[in-house]
Amino acid sequence: MLGGEVEAGWIGSPASGARINVIHAAPPFRRLEITLLLENREIPFLWLFDRLRGKRDWLIIRATLRSPRRGEMEVGSAKRKAARRREQPWTWQEGPHGLAVAYQGPGAQKQVAALEPWLEAYGAHLHRFFWHKTDPHIQLQMKVGGLLPTPSEKFLADLQAAIGGAKHINK
């Protein structure tokens, strides 16, 4: 499903997390890096401290596309929207699950439309999502807890379809 050569390994110890690198990944990706970061469970005091600060298990995906898009988008909380609005002239719209969606550039609105069904399905567990013109083109951070009932194959296939659905626009 992911295609290409796969390299996998632990980050530190198995209790810290794992990373999978896919070289020559299946389209629309050229390369994928999937990282699972686990909250501290080995030392109860640190676990409680981190838990009170809101640290959780995270799934982080970085992807390089075979054909980079000219548009850019960012999805995140409304708090990010307020801070980002002052920085650059992006177009903003409300997304599902209280997310703010910002986009700019040629074809960006089409990228947003292609991603909307994925945001409906997975947006409740999304912390942030970046789609930029520079490598890595896609970066996303998800809360693992909400994804546990979903098979990883389905999650990755849905992401692959959403990103592949926003075709390159030459302008």
85: closest CA among 70, 74, 72, 97?
Answer: 74
Q: Tens of pLDDT along 73-94?
A: 999 987 665 555 556 678 999 9
Q: What is the mean pLDDT of the chain?
A: 87
Q: Which contiguous run of DSSP H or E holds residue 58?
A: strand 58-65
Domain of 19? 5-164
| 58 belongs to a structural domain | yes
| 57 belongs to a structural domain | yes
Predicted local confidence at residue 85, as pLDDT: 56
Q: Tens of pLDDT along 26-72?
A: 999 999 999 999 888 778 888 888 888 877 899 999 999 999 888 99
| 26 belongs to a structural domain | yes
| 169 belongs to a structural domain | no
8 A C-beta contact, residue 111 and residue 131: yes
Helices marked H in 23-88 — which ranges? 44-52, 78-85
| 127 belongs to a structural domain | yes
| 170 belongs to a structural domain | no
| 115 belongs to a structural domain | yes
The burial class, CB within 10 Å (0-12 / 13-18 / 19+), for 147 is: middle
